[in-house]
A and B are shown apart, each in its own frame.
Chain A
Amino acid sequence: MLKLSRYVLYDILRNKIVIAYTLFLFIVSFSMFRMEENSSKAILSLLNIVLIVLPLISLIFTTIHYYNSYEFIELMLSQPLSRTRILLSEFGGVCISLLSAFWIGVGVPVLLFSADETGFALLFTGTALTIVFTSIAFLASVRSKDKARGIGFALLLWFYFALIYDGLVLLILFAFSDYPMEKFTLLLSALNPIDLGRIFIMLKMDISALMGYTGALYKDFFGSGKGVLFTTVIMLLWATIPLWLAIRSFRRKDM
């Protein structure tokens, strides 16, 4: 498996976009820590980057990469390799490159300036979101043969998770504000990896006190070991289910 991933990685490194992405992340994180005197403030600004930019880059990069390596996939299909293995190698290669970009670009500055619990939570969330959105992007691109449609679909998914979902949650909370919604919002957060990541980090910071009763409930839940486990499991599900669906439809696909 790694044998194939190596060639995928090599191909990705060749086009230098990942290197530019690494530099971008590094410069942004470094300057945030430099500008803000309080490192937790810097983490808060970085949080927005991790929650908005990371999923977007993962989705777009993965989709474009998939369509660009169509030839490679086609070539591999005529070789004695299973389709599952081919797709997993592609996934492995993309994931490794995006993750190393994140760890170098954000991980190193965070470890230098703010190597505490919040910092690690940020790194954990970034890692999880990268894997989750790479996996979602694979599903989107395997499902649609047309390049523009695949990328368009990936973008729509990003809009949904990063922007629309929050609006929907607010709407629901507003409509049912007469009922006790605390447990329900906990469930809602699990349905969006970006939200889950945000809550997970926010509660490691002091600002959770500002979030009222729901915040207290969250703090109670996410502050405990149970919360960490919950987040990990949900993120794992978000990473594996789309990938599994992608493999399933890739195995049935005509090339």
Chain B
Amino acid sequence: MIRIEHINKKFRRLQALDNISANFYKGQVISLIGPNGSGKTTLIKSILGMVKPDSGKIFVKDQPVNGDPAYRSDIGYMPQIGRYPDNMKVGQLFDMMKKIRNADEKETDNDLVLQFNIPAIYEKPMRTLSGGTRQKVSAALAFLFSPAILILDEPTAGLDPLSSEILKEKIIYEKKKNKLILITSHVLSDLEELTTHIMYLQEGKMQFLKDLETLQEETDEIKLSKAIAKVMRGYETDNKWIDQIFLAEKKDERIY
């Protein structure tokens, strides 16, 4: 559904994305993992067309990203930091988004709106909302038009445990509907229950894109956080592919 072909992006001297290619298909839940500043958000913003890559192409449902903006109607995006017009009331924001997408009241997916009890704050201006409430609004907006692709940038950051659980349930529910979901998060335990694939970025380079089972096998760790920690330690000393590092380790074991 999303095809990324050799994209490069430089911000001044910083190579934010370095020759990244990947294919994402529907039914997958892809976790973008990597240290801070490794290019996760840049990659997401490139898919949304908010950041223009220096070279390379991105296709969403075979539509090039830099062409007709209509492809974005298949994407629900929840930004890392939801920034909204200060003076606008929550209700107006939802009305506006519906009008922009020409969506009928019946077609919209109001699950999260209701579960987060957003109608109760319809009359509040956006600027008075707390960080967590803003996150709830962002999440509800991302799911509102039941898009085929969901892009969630740090969805659970700042949410209370209950809301975080509601959001996770919703993601699992959408996953069953054969959608493509892209998530970045540093809370690996949150991802564990959701993810099918892991994409690991470091300093703008894609280190690997693997499904969860393979990763677990290769690292001998069931827990995602431990597996990733192992990988991260490995890459700090040596930027080889994960397979090679762990093969080397196994050889050592045999000798001693």
List, in ascending order, chain B residues with CB within 8 A of A28's CB.
Answer: none
Q: Are B100 and A4 in contact (CB under 8 A)?
A: yes
Chief secondary structure at chain A's binding surface: helix
Distance between Cα atoms of A75 and B50 in the complex (Å): 10
For chain B residues 68-124, which have a beta carbon within 8 Å of chain A? 68-73, 75, 77, 79, 83-88, 96-97, 99-101
Residue of B45, B69, B87 touching A80 (CB-CB under 8 A): B69
Q: Interface on A for B, CB 8 Å cutoff? A: 3-4, 7, 11, 14-15, 68-72, 74-83, 252-255
List, in ascending order, chain B residues with CB within 8 A of A69's CB.
Answer: 85
Minimal Cβ-Cβ distance residue in B for A252: B52
Q: Are B50 and A79 in contact (CB under 8 A)?
A: no
Residue of A72, A78, A252 touching B50 (CB-CB under 8 A): A78
Q: Are B52 and A81 in contact (CB under 8 A)?
A: no
List, in ascending order, chain B residues with CB within 8 A of A80's CB.
Answer: 69-73, 100-101
List, in ascending order, chain A residues with CB within 8 A of B72's CB.
Answer: 78-81
Minimal Cβ-Cβ distance residue in B for A253: B52
List, in ascending order, chain B residues with CB within 8 A of A70's CB.
Answer: 83
Q: Interface on B for A, CB 8 Å cutoff? A: 11, 45, 48-52, 68-73, 75, 77, 79, 83-88, 96-97, 99-101
Minimal Cβ-Cβ distance residue in B for A85: B69
Q: Are B50 and A71 in contact (CB under 8 A)?
A: no
Distance between Cα atoms of A59 and B52 in the complex (Å): 28
Query: Can you name 25 A-B pairs with beta carbons within 8 Å?
Result: A7-B85, A11-B85, A11-B87, A68-B86, A71-B84, A71-B85, A72-B84, A74-B79, A74-B83, A75-B85, A76-B100, A77-B48, A78-B72, A78-B79, A79-B72, A79-B97, A79-B100, A79-B101, A80-B69, A81-B69, A82-B69, A253-B52, A254-B11, A254-B51, A255-B45
List, in ascending order, chain A residues with CB within 8 A of B70's CB.
Answer: 80
Q: Are B84 and A78 in contact (CB under 8 A)?
A: no
Q: Are A78 and B69 in contact (CB under 8 A)?
A: no
- The 8 residue pairs across chains A and B that have the minimum distance between CB atoms: A71-B83, A80-B73, A80-B72, A78-B77, A254-B51, A255-B50, A72-B85, A14-B87
Q: Are A77 and B50 in contact (CB under 8 A)?
A: yes
Minimal Cβ-Cβ distance residue in A for B83: A71
Distance between Cα atoms of A82 and B50 in the complex (Å): 11
List, in ascending order, chain B residues with CB within 8 A of A72's CB.
Answer: 84-85
Chain A nearest CB from B54 CB (Å) reads 10
Q: Are A78 and B75 in contact (CB under 8 A)?
A: yes
Supply 18 further A-B pairs (C-beta < 8 A) apart from A7-B88, A77-B50, A254-B51: A3-B99, A3-B100, A7-B96, A14-B87, A15-B87, A68-B86, A72-B84, A72-B85, A74-B50, A75-B85, A78-B72, A79-B97, A80-B100, A81-B72, A83-B69, A252-B52, A253-B52, A254-B45
Distance between Cα atoms of A204 and B63 in the complex (Å): 57
Distance between Cα atoms of A252 and B51 in the complex (Å): 9
Q: Are A254 and B69 in contact (CB under 8 A)?
A: no
Distance between Cα atoms of A76 and B72 in the complex (Å): 11
Distance between Cα atoms of A34 and B100 in the complex (Å): 48
List, in ascending order, chain B residues with CB within 8 A of A74's CB.
Answer: 50, 79, 83
